[in-house]
Amino acid sequence: METRLRVWERLASDLKPRHLDGGLANEIRLEQLPGALEQILEGQVRGRTIVAMQRE
């Protein structure tokens, strides 16, 4: 188990590819979802889109 933890720590630090640091996730609000879905279906979105489910 200790070896596994060390491996995961390295994968999250010095072995992590630099291009994964930004631009792969985009957070939107619920009211932005219809427009975001259109962009996804048109192939204009790269990475993940996260919908923030917050009540105000």
- Transcribe 11-38 into DSSP letters: HTTTTS-GGGSSSSEEEEEGGGHHHHHH
Q: Which residue has the higher pLDDT, 42 or 1?
A: 42
Q: Where are the domains of the chain?
A: 22-56
pLDDT digits (tens, 9 = 90+) for 20-45: 666 678 899 999 999 999 999 999 99
Average pLDDT over residues 44-54: 89
Output the pLDDT for position 10: 93
* pTM metric for this prediction: 0.56
- Give yes or no for a contact between 12 and 35, defined as CB atoms under 8 angstroms apart: no
- Give yes or no for a contact between 47 and 26, defined as CB atoms under 8 angstroms apart: yes
